[in-house]
Structures are given as structure tokens and as C-alpha cells.
Amino acid sequence: MAHLSPILSIMSEIANKASPRLRRDFGEIELLQSSEAGATAYAAKAAKRVTKQIYAELATARADYGFVFRTGEVVKGPDKTHRWLIDPIAGQTNFAHAIPHFGIAITLERTQDKITAPVASLIYNPISDELFHSENGSGGFCNNNRLRVSQKQSLTGAVIACSHSPLIETLQKADAHIRISGGDAMDYARVCAGRLDAIITPDVALWERACATIFAQESGGLITEHKGAHKNLFIMGGESVCTLIKEAISN
């Protein structure tokens, strides 16, 4: 495991503490696939349990910090300059369908000189035991491996995560290969590891944007946005591929 700073050590330890129960829940989910409603409800309960555990642990470790949860709930702390952004099961629909492409996502934001930016983030997949983490100025890692975005220079053969159906045909005409995984946070990590060349997502939530921003920053990636007729698109990847994607979807 790459050296972790004190704050990332806290985040990693808390994610790992929440993981054994989440693995057991995933095993139970696999047995519930004959009942879609049952699996969905069980996944929601699992997310609540993980949220409660992570909240309790982080509140103990940094009692003054605030919280923003995936549900939109906000807990303000005495320290107005720091807050945690929590997604207990990033990729919850995958989890509910027994697809092991999900993770615990925790990001720390800091406000300084009226500018709010992420300072550390992690995504932990308890099934694959992959810990993706990034910290401002310290780089990004997956376990012991340094994260670097791919240097793909063409859309031909590029592997792009995209679930926005109006774009799929356009990208395929450029000979790109499209993947729809259902787990944007995990895909941000895979882009930064060079496993995907880019990801395109509409309507990115606050916690997703913060997570993606620091991962891209620390792995040499680029984030850009495209304002379409119906959706604002969030594009992340290597600089060349992101530029080519914007050109393709603008034509």
C-alpha cells in the first residue's frame, strides 16, 4: 500500500471498517435477485447502515467537520472550512443487482479564501479490494500503483464510459468503444488508472464532481464540460481524448 497521509489513513481505516458488513450484504443481495423489489430495498438498507457507520467514525475522528450525504442531507459543523462528502455505495444500482462494480466514496473539501476545493478523496471497492485515493499535491494511487490517465491521441479504439444515449451513436461513428457500467465514481477511478480513456456523464452531483476533480488533478487528467441542447455533459479523461470528444459531439 502506498504511504497514506494522516487524513487519508483515517479515511481508509473507516472505509475498511465498513467493508466486512458490506461484503456480507453483497452476498445476501446475490441470493435476492429473484425479487427485484427485495434486492432494491435491501441495498437501500445497506446504504443507510454504511452511512451511519461512516458518519459516526468520521464525526469521532474530526468532530468539528461538516457532512454532505448522497441523499442531499447536510450536517453543519463548527468548522465551516471543512466538510466530508459521503456516498456510502457509489454504484448502488449495481450493488442491488449483485454487480461488483461499486465502492465506498469519501471526499474531504476545504474552503480557503472563499474557494472550496477537494483536498483528499478515496473510492474503495470492498469486493476487488482496490483502494483508489488522491490527495492534493501528493498524487493518486490504486493500492501501490500510481494513477495516470491514458495518453490516447485518437477516438479510434478509445474506450469511453458513456450512458448518455444521444451520444453513443456519435462516438461509435468515430470508432470509439462504449462502456455502460452503472458506476460513475468507479469509472472516474478507472479513467485515472488508464483503464478507460474517458467518461462522459450528465448531471454530475456535488460529491461526484469533487471526487472526480481531485482524481483528475492528481493523475494528469482533464475535466471539461459541454453545454448541450438538453443536458450539460461532464467529460473526464486524457487531454487529447477530451478535446476530440468535445469536437465530435459539437459537430
Reply yes or no on whether the pLDDT at 246 is more than 80. yes
DSSP 225-247: EEE-SS-EEEEEE-HHHHHHHHH
Q: Give the model's pLDDT for residue 2.
A: 67
For range 54-66, the mean pLDDT: 98
Q: Give the model's pLDDT for residue 127.
A: 97
Q: Give the model's pLDDT for residue 209.
A: 95
Q: Give the model's pLDDT for residue 163.
A: 83
Sign for the pseudo-dihedral over CA of 120, 186, 141, 10: positive
Reply yes or no on whether the pLDDT at 166 is more than 90. no
**Euclidean distance between CA atoms 160 and 144, whole angstroms:** 25
For range 4-18, the mean pLDDT: 97
Q: In what order do the strands lie in the sheet with 232-237?
A: 177-179, 159-162, 198-202, 232-237, 222-227
**Euclidean distance between CA atoms 216 and 204, whole angstroms:** 15
Range list of β-strands (E), the chain: 66-69, 74-75, 82-90, 103-112, 115-125, 130-135, 139-142, 145-146, 159-162, 177-179, 198-202, 222-227, 232-237
Place 164 in a pLDDT band, splitting at 50, 70 and 90.
confident
189 neighbors 215 (Cβ within 8 angstroms): yes
3-12, 143-152, 164-173: least confident range? 164-173
**Cα angle 102-104-105, degrees, rounded to a multiple of 5:** 110
155 DSSP assignment: S
Place 30 in a pLDDT band, splitting at 50, 70 and 90.
confident
| Domains recognised in the chain with CATH numbers | 6-146 (3.30.540.10), 159-250 (3.40.190.80)
For range 75-99, the mean pLDDT: 97
Q: Give the model's pLDDT for residue 229.
A: 66
Give pLDDT tens digits for 68-78: 999 999 999 99
User: Which residue would you say has higher pLDDT here, 32 or 191?
Assistant: 191
Match 478515496 to its residue by C-alpha cell.
122
Q: Give the model's pLDDT for residue 230.
A: 57
7 neighbors 61 (Cβ within 8 angstroms): no
201: which 3 cell numbers? 456523464
Place 232 in a pLDDT band, splitting at 50, 70 and 90.
confident
**Euclidean distance between CA atoms 70 and 54, whole angstroms:** 13
**Cα angle 42-127-2, degrees, rounded to a multiple of 5:** 135
Q: Give the model's pLDDT for residue 250.
A: 84
> Could you tell me the pTM of the whole model?
0.94
196 DSSP assignment: S
Give pLDDT tens digits for 131-155: 999 999 999 999 989 999 999 999 9
3-state secondary structure of 27: helix
| pLDDT over 90 percentage in the chain | 84
Q: Give the model's pLDDT for residue 1.
A: 58
